[in-house]
Amino acid sequence: MKHDDQKNAGIASRMQRRDFIKFAGLGTVALSAGLQGCASLARLGGSRDVRPFTIIALPDTQYYSKAFPHIFTAQTEWIRDNKEALDIFLVIHEGDITDNNAEEEWKNARKSLDVLDGVVPVCLNTGNHDQPGWGAERQLTHFYDFFPRSRYENLPWFGGTWQDGIENAYWKFERDGVPYLVLCLEFGPRDEVIDWANRILDAHPKHRVIFSTHCYMYSDDTRVGEGDKWNPRTYAGADNDGEELWEKMVRRHENIFLVLSGHILNDGKGRLTSTNEHGSPVHQVLANYQMLPDGGEGWLRIITIDPAANQITMKTYSPWLDRFATDEENEFVIENAFRPGFFNV
């Protein structure tokens, strides 16, 4: 049932961009007031000071790794160079790191992502293209070689994994006294993976959760479901689609407030706010630019979460082009983003 869904009610279709900041070596870019909130603390619910923070979503990088590695590196260098100015808290890669799962593509991806080593946490998702044959049978040999669990397990933000790889993993963070958990699951997660994830979420009721998986939202502002093109169920070895993930996991947990995904083509953009079983809004967002020239033109999502203002702000920027995409599907504010007291944990 989607009667409780809405397309992000209260969206400010075009953000005011009267504030301009010059980023080091990157030209003049526009910022909303929300992105500058790190300068001031805001009191939340009378009990805690919670500052706004920014996460970056990297949509499908498959063509960059294959043919435009300099664009992938332009993205990561921009994140590195603007970490402090934007108070970037973490990065989430939405999967399809590579196109043909070729060793050379993995080398390129590793080189681009290494720019962020020791700079900002990066939570990786795997996509169907990160397996042989664009989706065959969950073989992630190269992923395990280039991004092995051993690379992550001693990091302070490492939470745990389902098995030996990080394609099903959770990562734990804390900021201003609020615990956060980022959950990343494989392409079209298997039932046993969802069971594991449900147990992890049940064990972390105080953590505020961002969930990401390669395929979840569709370009028509609904979750990927039966009959949708590129549904995981149409790929060998893949199982649950977005609608099934909502029913079996997302809607059941009070603490998931944001879901990020890629994979879907058409215009590669979609968003939907639903209400979970506990009465909290869940904001679900698709971003994928792989169909554009140069493998995606370097577009990435700048997501600013502001608990005190009760807002999530999304902007879309290309370090490669050095400009923002300002149409209402790429730049918007979600008002009333959290139920009262959501961050008072």
Please provide residue 176's backbone torsions phi and psi, each rounded to the nearest 5 degrees. Answer: 50, 35
From candidates 82, 128, 240, 261, binder to Fe ion by CB under 5 A: 128
Q: Which is nearer to Fe ion, 51 or 263 (CB)?
A: 263
Instruction: Report angle CA 322, 114, 121 to the nearest 5 degrees.
Output: 85
Two structure tokens written together for 74:
């332009």
Binding of residue 54 to Fe ion (CB under 5 A)? no
| DSSP structure class, residue 215 | S
Q: Which is nearer to Fe ion, 32 or 128 (CB)?
A: 128
CB of 222 to Fe ion, least distance (A): 18
Binding of residue 274 to Fe ion (CB under 5 A)? no
Two structure tokens written together for 5:
């869904």
Q: Rounded CA gap, 319 and 91, in Å?
A: 15
Binding of residue 273 to Fe ion (CB under 5 A)? no
Binding of residue 96 to Fe ion (CB under 5 A)? yes
Q: Which stretch binds Fe ion (CB under 5 A): 121-129, 167-175, 219-227, 291-299?
A: 121-129
Strand 169-175 to strand 19-23: parallel, antiparallel, or no bridges (unpaired)? unpaired
Two structure tokens written together for 43:
């009191």
Q: Which stretch binds Fe ion (CB under 5 A): 8-16, 93-101, 151-159, 298-306?
A: 93-101
From candidates 66, 208, 263, 283, binder to Fe ion by CB under 5 A: 263
Residue type, 103: E
Buried/exposed code over 110-135 (b: 16+ C-beta within 10 A; e: otherwise): bebbebbeeebbbbbbbbbbbbbebb
CB of 1 to Fe ion, least distance (A): 28
Binding of residue 138 to Fe ion (CB under 5 A)? no
DSSP string, 22-64: EETTTEEEEE-GGGGGGGS--EETTTEE---EEEEEE---HHH
Binding of residue 93 to Fe ion (CB under 5 A)? no
Q: Which stretch binds Fe ion (CB under 5 A): 218-226, 259-267, 274-282, 333-341?
A: 259-267
Q: Which is nearer to Fe ion, 158 or 230 (CB)?
A: 230
CB of 262 to Fe ion, least distance (A): 7
Q: Which is nearer to Fe ion, 178 or 193 (CB)?
A: 193
- From 155, 152, 157, 199, select the one nearest 174 (Cα to Cα): 157
By beta carbon distance, the residue nearest Fe ion is 263
- Sign of the torsion angle spanned by Cα atoms 189, 119, 17, 33: positive
From candidates 52, 59, 121, 127, binder to Fe ion by CB under 5 A: 127
Binding of residue 105 to Fe ion (CB under 5 A)? no
- The answer to whether 97 and 130 have CB atoms below 8 angstroms apart is yes
Q: Which is nearer to Fe ion, 96 or 243 (CB)?
A: 96
Q: With CB under 5 A, what is the number of residues at the site for Fe ion?
A: 4
CB of 256 to Fe ion, least distance (A): 22
Q: Which stretch binds Fe ion (CB under 5 A): 127-135, 141-149, 266-274, 311-319?
A: 127-135
CB of 128 to Fe ion, least distance (A): 5
Number of H helices, E strands in the chain: 7, 18
CB of 218 to Fe ion, least distance (A): 13
Q: Rounded CA gap, 5 and 153, in Å?
A: 38
Q: Rounded CA gap, 271 and 283, in Å?
A: 7
Residues near Fe ion (CB under 5 A): 96, 127-128, 263
